[in-house]
């Protein structure tokens, strides 16, 4: 039998150390191998790794969900079934549709998010996310029903994420749809510290026979521009490069406002305009990446196109600044140039549209194809 002998002065130290570890000191063991076995098991336990050690904090995620519940609740519509916290969100289909069809749209915010992160300004990017999705839905005459978001980051910063979701909720209220769920992914190996990404998903409902708007468009229809709030969420890679080339600073003034505020102005949501006009118009074209020249022709049938008075377009100052470094044709196929949505309306209803919106006439539908700027 193996006996362990320790110098007398070491016994108090060893005893305290062992008791702190939950192990009896070696003097209580007749066989030192038993003591060694227990010590080895303790060391193994001490080396156990938690999910938090790996960079994912479950408790922070739970705290975040609790923090955003009031924002989510504020978006709920009479069609929502249940609340936040289940495995999926549920919505009752509205009544009154003869041949209901469900439409979906997904999008992100692009590199506008990079600018928001650099400026530590997140109070509008959520609205951008909602807008980019619901503005597409209404072009197929779908009324938005609900929205889902995806937020991915290296480390969840609750205050930042909370501000983003609050902005998403505000966007949903403007779009008259419910925020019924989302996903928050903490992925330390996928993103740099402080970075995050967003994706959004909107679902709407429409009459099946009203989805394809091209069959309603006629020669002679009037093209009415609804102003954008700024760059919206397209062309920011180019815009950021131009800003850097010109040596502009975030606090430089553009029309009396800080440049960063002009660049990060939230994307306008046109759902209210659509609901007020839908019975009097033929089509809508959301002007995003590709500009007027690529997006407007998407609503025309074969044999029809657009004639647009270039000088009629009311272009905000920010686009003129960017144009110092970008060719005119490139500007037109990259940015909205101040036009966020184009309404295609029969001539007899043009005054109705103009009286109920901030829109203005920029052209008409003609024989041919594409979008011709004159």
Give the model confidence (pLDDT) of 174-231 as tens digits. Answer: 999 999 999 999 999 899 999 999 999 999 999 999 999 999 999 999 999 999 999 9
CB neighbours of residue 7 within 10 Å: 7
pLDDT of 84 reads 77
Name the nearest CA neighbour of 332 among 296, 368, 369.
296
CATH number of 214-373, picked from 1.10.150.530, 3.40.50.720, 3.90.650.10, 3.40.190.10: 3.90.650.10
pLDDT of 83 reads 78
- Collapse the DSSP code of 224 into the 3-class scheme (helix H, G, I; strand E, B; otherwise coil) and give the result: strand
Give the model confidence (pLDDT) of 291-344 as tens digits. Answer: 999 999 999 999 999 999 999 999 999 999 999 999 999 999 999 999 999 999
Residue 165's contacts (CB-CB under 8 Å, 6 or more residues apart) are 68, 71, 72, 126, 149, 151, 182
What topology is assigned to 58-211 in CATH?
A: 60s Ribosomal Protein L30; Chain: A; (3.30.1330)
d(CA 266, CA 161): 17
CA distances from 366 to 143, 212, 372 (A): 29, 19, 10
3-state helix, strand, coil in the chain (%, to 5): 40, 20, 35
d(CA 314, CA 156): 41
**Ranges in the chain, pLDDT < 70:** 1-36, 38-46
Residues of the chain with CATH 3.30.1330.10: 58-211
């Amino acid at each position: 039998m193996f006996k362990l002998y320790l110098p007398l002065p070491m016994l108090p130290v060893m005893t305290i150390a062992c008791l702190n570890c939950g192990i009896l000191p070696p003097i209580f063991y007749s066989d030192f191998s038993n003591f060694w076995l227990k010590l080895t098991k303790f060391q193994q336990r001490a080396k156990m790794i938690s999910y938090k050690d790996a960079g994912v904090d479950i408790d922070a995620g739970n705290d975040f969900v609790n923090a955003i519940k009031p924002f989510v609740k504020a978006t709920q519509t009479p069609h929502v079934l249940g609340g936040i916290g289940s495995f999926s969100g549920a919505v009752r289909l509205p009544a009154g549709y003869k041949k209901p069809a469900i439409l979906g749209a997904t999008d992100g915010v692009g590199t506008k998010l990079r600018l928001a992160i650099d400026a530590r300004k997140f109070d509008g990017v959520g609205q951008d996310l909602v807008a980019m999705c619901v503005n597409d839905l209404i072009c197929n005459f779908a009324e938005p029903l609900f929205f889902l978001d995806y937020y991915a980051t290296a480390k969840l910063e609750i205050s930042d994420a909370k501000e983003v979701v609050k902005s998403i909720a505000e966007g949903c209220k403007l779009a008259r749809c419910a925020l019924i769920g989302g996903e928050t992914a903490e992925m330390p190996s996928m993103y740099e510290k402080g970075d995050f990404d967003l994706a959004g998903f909107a679902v709407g409902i429409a009459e099946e026979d009203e989805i394809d708007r091209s069959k309603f468009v006629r020669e002679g229809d009037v093209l009415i521009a609804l102003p954008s709030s700024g760059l919206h969420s397209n062309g920011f890679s180019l815009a950021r490069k131009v800003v850097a080339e010109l040596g502009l600073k975030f606090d430089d003034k553009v029309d009396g406002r800080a440049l960063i505020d002009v660049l990060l102005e939230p994307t306008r949501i046109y759902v209210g305009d659509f609901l007020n006009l839908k019975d009097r118009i033929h089509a809508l074209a959301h002007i995003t990446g590709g500009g007027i020249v690529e997006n407007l022709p998407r609503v025309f049938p074969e044999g029809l196109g657009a004639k647009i008075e270039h000088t009629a377009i009311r272009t905000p100052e920010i686009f003129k600044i960017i144009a110092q470094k970008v060719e005119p044709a490139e500007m037109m196929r990259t940015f909205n140039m101040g036009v966020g949505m184009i309404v295609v309306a029969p001539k007899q209803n043009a005054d109705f549209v103009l009286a109920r919106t901030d829109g203005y006439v920029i052209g008409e539908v003609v024989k041919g194809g594409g979008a011709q700027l004159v």
